[in-house]
């Protein structure tokens, strides 16, 4: 997966990669050259007291070191730059993907994990890529070159190298392979911690109201504990790795000195060569250590890469058709033909054989008990989801045949749980139409019965709106969402239970104002209160996903048992009706 992700992401940076490879090559050659220079300086300069030679060698070494330093710095800079760009691209891709997702894919993943994947997981990959870029050319050359150079200095001590290198590789390998399972646990528990935290922040009022703080605190603590436990286990193993490395490095240096000294005594090798041998041995061991570490970090990045690729390779179930047809018939309104819809995995369809036509300039109301499928039905019209049977037509065209852009540009939806973005009242209203003038915004607010409270807000149109619209009341949020839809000036207006938070008088005024504005618009209103829809041109009564009655208020009172029951139950409750005010719509 990591390879797949890299193959997808790295090509644009081929130039940088080539530069990194060349620089690493230069750096590693310089590093391999240095010990042999030191050796010669000791043997020919120091041993013979040739000060001139020492100076010459010294200058030479300085030059070589400079090359090594410049190469190392440039590799680090370029490497992090490439890794960071790669991460940026990956984030952009994930973001684009998620934006293209329909309801169904978003629900399949869930928001918290999508956020972790776009953030934490990409950072994991970035870290490993940075590391790999710095090692990929350097480490193998360093290992092989180091061994060759060392043997040239003194082949008699080769056995120390033959013992130390595998020992180090295996020791670190064992330690780090025990970390790998913890990496998986860590990544999953980041998800869990995020999810719980998010849920608690979103639902903080509910938590308070039901005095569930202790329970929630424990729930969070448990998830946090798992994450901490995994991180501590990884940390402990890391802590174990360093002493092991140090012991092996130092023991092998001591061995070189011990056995080398005898060889110097017997004249088999010179002091300088021995010194160089030791330097090479350390270089090789370092390279082995770094490679093992990097190799062991790959599984962690692999976990993250899989999680990222999963998002990137999930296709939205709602996509543009290959050959989009334009929507041409402005007078056709919205038509549903024998529509059936089932949620994925559900056995019974939520909508079953629903047919009706909503004409421009008329208002169609949909009423039914909770869970009857009203929201589901509305979501099918702008293709938030696709029907599983039958057709939805907008402007005479099956919505699946037209381009998404074309469909969406004709429809304005006020969702049941309206969401406002952080910004100002104006910036939210202009979601409907970015070019709308202030006058048009006020006009829409007036129709939505929101003019009063907006003009009283600090700053009017420029008043601040918090994320999700949590700093206005539920009813105010609903009215702003209505105004936002009106600004759009769409052919089709869909209201999903948008009047429920309004008192009966405001509700009536709003409907009156709306009527004046929507002479050519197809309006579909989902409502809970019969009083909201008495004036509708056509009322569709939904019961358990089926249409059980179509007609005007008076007709339905005569003909439709379900409708009569709803109407009677609400009369009995006075002005009542369900005051469903959805809290914090996140």
Q: Which of residues 387-446 bind ligand UTP (CB under 6 A)?
A: 416
Which of the listed partners (ligand UTP, Mg ion, none) does 376 bind, with a CB threshold of 5 to 8 Å by partner kind? ligand UTP
* Smallest distance from ligand UTP to CB 541, Å: 12
Among 578, 462, 478, 473, CA closest to 530: 578
The token pair at 132 is 């790999």
Q: What are phi and psi of 538, to 5 degrees?
A: -150, 130
Q: What are phi and psi of 448, to 5 degrees?
A: -80, 5
Nearer to ligand UTP, 2 or 387 (CB): 387
* Smallest distance from Mg ion to CB 373, Å: 8
538-543 and 363-368 beta bridge pairing: parallel
Cβ-contact 143, 217 below 8 angstroms: no
Number of residues that bind ligand UTP (CB under 6 A): 13
* Smallest distance from ligand UTP to CB 354, Å: 12
Nearer to Mg ion, 126 or 498 (CB): 498
Which of the listed partners (ligand UTP, Mg ion, none) does 372 bind, with a CB threshold of 5 to 8 Å by partner kind? ligand UTP
* Smallest distance from Mg ion to CB 444, Å: 24
Binding site for Mg ion (CB under 5 A): 374-375, 416
* Smallest distance from ligand UTP to CB 584, Å: 16
Among 102, 376, 447, 449, binds ligand UTP (CB under 6 A): 376
- Region from 57-65, 124-132, 357-365, 367-375 binding ligand UTP, contact rule CB under 6 A: 367-375
Which residues make beta-bridge pairs with 414? 495
Among 346, 348, 516, 572, binds ligand UTP (CB under 6 A): 346
DSSP 337-384: EEEEE--TT-SS-SEEEEEEEE-TT-EEEEEE-TTSSHHHHHHHTTTS
Instruction: Measure the CA–CA gap between 404 and 101, rounded to whole angstroms.
Output: 13
Nearer to Mg ion, 97 or 374 (CB): 374
Q: Does 102 bind ligand UTP (CB under 6 A)?
A: no
Site string for ligand UTP, 495-534 (x = CB under 6 A): --x-------------------------------------
Cβ-contact 286, 248 below 8 angstroms: no
Instruction: Measure the CA–CA gap between 550 and 362, rounded to whole angstroms.
Output: 14
Nearer to ligand UTP, 191 or 497 (CB): 497
Which of the listed partners (Mg ion, ligand UTP, none) does 373 bind, with a CB threshold of 5 to 8 Å by partner kind? ligand UTP
Which of the listed partners (Mg ion, ligand UTP, none) does 113 bind, with a CB threshold of 5 to 8 Å by partner kind? none
Instruction: Measure the CA–CA gap between 445 and 553, rounded to whole angstroms.
Output: 29
Instruction: Measure the CA–CA gap between 336 and 348, rounded to whole angstroms.
Output: 20
Q: Does 478 bind ligand UTP (CB under 6 A)?
A: no
Instruction: Measure the CA–CA gap between 160 and 183, rounded to whole angstroms.
Output: 35
Cβ-contact 190, 122 below 8 angstroms: no
User: Which secondary structure element, helix H or strand E, spans residue 435, and what is its range?
Assistant: none
Which of the listed partners (ligand UTP, Mg ion, none) does 532 bind, with a CB threshold of 5 to 8 Å by partner kind? none
Q: What are phi and psi of 13, to 5 degrees?
A: -105, 25
Q: Which residue's structure tokens are 């050259």?
A: 33
Q: Which of residues 286-345 bind ligand UTP (CB under 6 A)?
A: 343
The token pair at 264 is 């110097």
Q: Which of residues 54-73 bind ligand UTP (CB under 6 A)?
A: none
Cβ-contact 558, 541 below 8 angstroms: no
Residue 140 to residues 20, 76, 172, 326, Cα–Cα distance (Å): 15, 18, 17, 60
Among 370, 455, 473, 569, binds ligand UTP (CB under 6 A): 370
- Region from 13-21, 330-338, 368-376, 510-518 binding ligand UTP, contact rule CB under 6 A: 368-376
Which of the listed partners (Mg ion, ligand UTP, none) does 370 bind, with a CB threshold of 5 to 8 Å by partner kind? ligand UTP
Which of the listed partners (ligand UTP, Mg ion, none) does 449 bind, with a CB threshold of 5 to 8 Å by partner kind? none
What is the separation of C-alpha 195 from the centre of its chain, rounded to a whole number of angstroms?
13
Which residues make beta-bridge pairs with 398? 393
- Region from 93-101, 246-254, 273-281, 366-374 binding ligand UTP, contact rule CB under 6 A: 366-374
What is the separation of C-alpha 160 from the centre of its chain, rounded to a whole number of angstroms?
50
Among 371, 438, 512, 575, binds ligand UTP (CB under 6 A): 371
Instruction: Measure the CA–CA gap between 393 and 364, rounded to whole angstroms.
Output: 15
Nearer to Mg ion, 300 or 374 (CB): 374
Q: Does 350 bind ligand UTP (CB under 6 A)?
A: yes
Which of the listed partners (ligand UTP, Mg ion, none) does 516 bind, with a CB threshold of 5 to 8 Å by partner kind? none
Q: Does 110 bind ligand UTP (CB under 6 A)?
A: no
Instruction: Measure the CA–CA gap between 179 and 234, rounded to whole angstroms.
Output: 6
Which residues of this chain interact with ligand UTP, rule CB under 6 A?
343, 346, 350, 368, 370-376, 416, 497
């Amino acid at each position: 997966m990591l390879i797949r992700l890299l193959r997808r992401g790295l090509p644009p940076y081929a130039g940088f990669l080539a530069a990194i490879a060349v620089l690493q090559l230069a750096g590693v050659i310089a590093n391999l050259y240095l010990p042999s220079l030191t050796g010669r300086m000791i043997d020919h300069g120091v041993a013979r007291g040739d000060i001139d030679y020492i100076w010459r060698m010294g200058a030479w070494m300085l030059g070589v070191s400079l090359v090594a330093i410049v190469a190392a710095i440039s590799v680090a800079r370029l490497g992090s730059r490439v890794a960071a760009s790669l991460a940026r691209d990956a984030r952009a891709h994930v973001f684009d993907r998620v934006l293209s997702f329909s309801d169904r894919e978003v629900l399949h993943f869930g928001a918290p994990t999508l956020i972790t994947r776009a953030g934490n997981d990409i950072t994991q990959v970035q870290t490993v890529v940075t590391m790999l870029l710095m090692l990929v050319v350097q480490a193998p050359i360093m290992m092989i070159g180091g061994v060759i150079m060392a043997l040239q200095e003194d082949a008699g001590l080769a056995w120390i190298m033959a013992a130390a290198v595998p020992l180090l590789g295996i020791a670190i390998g064992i330690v780090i392979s025990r970390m790998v399972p913890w990496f998986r646990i860590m990544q999953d528990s980041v998800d869990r911690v995020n999810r719980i935290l998010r849920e608690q922040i979103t639902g903080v009022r509910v938590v308070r109201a039901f005095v569930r703080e202790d329970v929630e605190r424990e729930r969070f603590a448990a998830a946090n504990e798992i994450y901490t436990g995994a991180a501590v286990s990884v940390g402990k193993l890391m802590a174990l790795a360093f002493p092991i490395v140090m012991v092996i490095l130092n023991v092998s240096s001591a061995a070189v000195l011990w056995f080398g000294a005898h060889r110097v005594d017997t004249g088999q090798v010179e002091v300088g060569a021995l010194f160089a041998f030791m330097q090479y041995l350390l270089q090789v061991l370092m390279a082995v250590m770094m490679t093992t570490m990097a190799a062991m970090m790959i599984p962690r990045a692999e976990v993250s890469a899989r999680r990222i690729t999963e998002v990137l390779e999930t296709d939205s179930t709602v996509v543009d058709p290959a050959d989009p047809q334009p929507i041409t018939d402005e007078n056709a309104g919205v038509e549903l033909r024998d529509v059936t819809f089932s949620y994925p995995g559900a056995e019974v369809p939520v909508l079953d054989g629903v047919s009706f036509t909503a004409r421009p300039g008329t208002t169609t109301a949909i009423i039914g008990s909770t869970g009857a499928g009203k929201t589901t039905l509305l979501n099918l019209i702008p293709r938030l989801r696709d029907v599983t049977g039958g057709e939805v037509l907008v402007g005479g065209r099956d919505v699946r045949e037209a381009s998404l852009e074309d469909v969406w540009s004709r429809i304005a939806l006020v969702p049941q749980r309206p969401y406002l973005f952080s910004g100002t009242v104006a910036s939210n209203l202009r979601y409907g139409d970015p070019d709308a003038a202030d006058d048009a915004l006020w006009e829409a607010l007036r129709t939505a019965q929101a003019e009063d409270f907006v003009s009283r807000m600090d700053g009017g149109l420029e008043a601040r709106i918090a994320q999700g619209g949590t700093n206005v009341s539920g009813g105010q949020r609903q009215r702003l969402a209505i105004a936002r839809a009106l600004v759009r000036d769409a052919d089709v207006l869909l209201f999903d239970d948008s009047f429920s938070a309004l008192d009966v008088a405001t509700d009536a005024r709003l409907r009156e104002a709306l009527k004046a504005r929507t002479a050519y618009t197809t309006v579909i209103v989902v409502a809970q209160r019969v009083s909201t829809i008495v004036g509708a041109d056509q009322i569709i009564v939904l019961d358990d996903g089926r249409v059980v009655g179509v007609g005007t208020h008076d007709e339905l009172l005569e003909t439709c048992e379900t409708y009569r029951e709803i109407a009677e139950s609400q009369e009995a409750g006075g002005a009542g009706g369900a005051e469903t005010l959805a809290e914090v719509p996140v």
